[in-house]
Amino acid sequence: MKKQSMALLADFYEFTMANGYLKNGFAKRNTYFDVFFRSIPDGGGFAIAAGLEQVIDYIENLSFTDEEIEFFRSKGIFNEEFLTYLRNFKFTGDIYAVPEGTTVFPNEPILTVKAPAIEAQLIETFVLLTLNHQSLIATKANRIVRASGGRAVMEFGSRRAQGAQGAIDGARAAYIGGAAATACTLSDMLYSVPAVGTMAHSWVQMFDSEYEAFECYCKLYPHGSTLLVDTYNTLKSGVPNAIKAFKNILIPQGITDFAIRLDSGDISYLSKRARKMLDDAGLQCCKIVASNSLDEYLIRDLMMQGAQIDSFGVGERLITSKSSPVFGGVYKLVAIENEAGEIIPKIKVSENVGKITNPHFKKLYRLYDKESGKAIADQLCVYDEVIDDSKPITIFDQNATWKTKTLTDYTARELLIPVFKGGKRVYTTPKLSEVRQYCHNQVELLWDEVKRFENPHSYYVDLSKKLWQIKRSLLEQVKT
């Protein structure tokens, strides 16, 4: 099957603006755009960046076919010069981004594009939809994984995802966020996210008896057999029949890696009863898997109630981030270059203070406490600034400007790294398993107070003095 071109996966106004840029002599004008978000899903203390690998693949392969050129010609509003431009299109700009799995905070760039105006404009939609979706799911998955207290979380949401790509890339993002596996087979083939599965109620219903269904399954898949025990009656038939199958088929072979799955009812109560039944039968090795409309809050409650669960299968509330389904990342112009190559900062203002942008081509630093190694603040700087971590620095909390913190014993590290330079990829994409581990390490560098589900501590994100003065000057110009 022919691979679908993504070149036209862009808002139509990107093309009308690009056509206008060409007509007005802006085609080669270098521009700077930031991708950032304004609020954290679910009111959390941090988010997780994901989706960069798909952005890279899109940009490397972005071109326009004859069929697509003819489509634009048929609209009757694009001039031939623009159509010729599209026919020869190739991205030539620079891209900087935080690595996938990085913990990120509102109003700081997670990706910056420096490119001629048309190029920067045409990639906007795909960049946003990709980073928004995967960052959302990675963030939600991490919340669920943290709630599980070290128990494995499996992503089971393919059938409830927002379309095919939502399922495929959502499983990838969930794995970055800490999920151990997915039910989506294609995500395993494409991204090596481990695919796992148990059985559906239909398997049990196909046989003349529940025991026959369990016995057959154990014979077919002796290692890792997980039996769904709630098709008829969990405690009266499901668990007893599972015990019988395990003892008759698997234990005589010396196999002890098996489990039961609870998918309905009072999971806490049933898990405790099932655990006792399994233990009394001498099957302490048997694990208990729970599923059924779970999220971080329900999992946390189950753990508080002493539920006897070893792992979780989480579906729709993870793959759709049901409680907070929009990441809200935006793509805003922050600077342009004049004919002399000077970078001119630009700002978007609004009566809604939260929508006023941070101008200029920027660096993003993360500051770490030397004693604990924990991340304590981020600072946005102008591109030509360097933080000297041998000198004290005072950080303002942008969410409460009266709060300050002076740091003396810290280490500063740049977060935005080059991905493309002059249109050529300069970044080696790590293995997904490495991204997942990196994400885990990044979360561990945050204080527990920032990781709270309710009323998390506000993480400091500040502007350097130079950047703040530039922003204030631009705001004053707007006033006049």
pLDDT digits (tens, 9 = 90+) for 367-384: 999 999 999 999 999 999
Same domain flag for 123 and 258: no
Residue 75, H or E segment: helix 66-75
Same domain flag for 91 and 168: no
User: Is 334 within the bounds of a domain?
Assistant: yes
Whether the CB-CB separation of 56 and 427 falls below 8 Å is answered with: yes
CATH of the domain at 38: 3.20.140.10
CA separation, residue 234 to residues 10, 212, 241, 294 (Å): 50, 16, 10, 19
Assign 1 a pLDDT band (cuts: 50, 70, 90): very low
Domain end position, chosen among 298, 319, 340 = 319
Domain end position, chosen among 295, 319, 343 = 319
Same domain flag for 161 and 286: yes
User: Is 2 within the bounds of a domain?
Assistant: no
Is 27 in a helix, a strand, or coil? coil
User: Is 143 within the bounds of a domain?
Assistant: no
Q: Per DSSP, which regions of 68-143 are E strands?
A: 94-97, 103-104, 111-116
- Report the domain count for the chain: 2
Mean pLDDT of 186-193: 97
Same domain flag for 130 and 155: no
Put residue 259 in one of left, alpha, beta given phi > 0 → left and psi -120 to 50 → alpha: beta
User: Is 7 within the bounds of a domain?
Assistant: no
Query: pTM value?
Result: 0.95
Residue 413: its pLDDT value, please? 97
For residue 245, give its domain range.
150-319
User: Is 145 within the bounds of a domain?
Assistant: no
Mean pLDDT of 310-320: 97
Same domain flag for 169 and 124: no
Residue 395: its pLDDT value, please? 86
Domain end position, chosen among 319, 346, 362 = 319
Same domain flag for 41 and 179: no
Within 8 A by CB and 6+ apart from 79, the residues are 19, 22, 23
